[in-house]
Structure 1
């Protein structure tokens, strides 16, 4: 998507004053004729500076509006100063966690990301135990009764198959 810049608007004003048609202005600048038509009717009589101000004002009203109010900002910053995590603050205020982090990243809250508790501290992962045998008692520590081989289960057998 291409927007008209202030330079483009100045060119439109100049070409319009020279008597160029809308189609010729559009072909010269590489825009659609409808774009030039809309632009020339944005401000009457056409003035590039006023048209740019009007476009900036309209573009400023576009998009989603932030729900961060001064009261909500205070309700978020105070618990963060008390070492609450952004996740807990978001849960308590019924906000998305990503919203709180976005406000922190964009500087909309008076709180630094580096001041968060446990920032950049990774959880310690449990050591992988799959595929390993858990030996509770070694052969050296077995009772003397085992060496007598009078009970079932105390016979040692070699299970290795010869080739």
Structure 2
């Protein structure tokens, strides 16, 4: 039996509802379940009312029981109704604009900042319809024409291939394994950013180094293949987040500015963690 089950987000997940159903069948009380899930007793009471259904036993007698599947369906129906009724009033508008200018994506705004009370598709519609008064430069990733790169027939071998990386690391089951990359700010010979991303928690470390040479980056590394960005998807996603603040062509940046970006990224809610942050996941082990 799972003990001390805790959560960092507001609404019950399907997995939690399935645990509630399982524990009821095992004879647990609502207070016991609330304690195990780290929820209030009232939350469990409300959830049980939402998920009540009639079930017939082998003797053809009907009983009221809790169904996790039915409760989850009812929850989403209620959420859709609340989302449809949400209006873009002054308070909502100001809050959305504040977070977009703080480089937060519409999806994270909807889920983490409004607790799902508005949909991220509504935010996108308001942006494209001009209701938020935002310009192209305010968007995180304006569409650009992508340059197609060609791969050399004889690519340079830098070190151990990513194919040699142990499967335990690939599965992201434990803390302590890091992906490393460099972010070039300008084509001119200049300082670059060295990024280290912890694979399980996505915790980020960013440092300014002299250049992207192997001498400047002295670590035990499993190298990805040339132009194979899908082999280091976490790095690529994090580099895009850095570009929100330091777009290509940035000539200068400071240690203080880089530190602020690092703090921002480590406290940015992530969908993969049910909108917990990397620092929360890292500290939680």
TM surpasses 0.5: no
Query: TM-score under structure 2 normalisation?
Result: 0.26
Structure with more helix by fraction: 1
Query: TM-score under structure 1 normalisation?
Result: 0.42
Which has the greater radius of gyration? 1
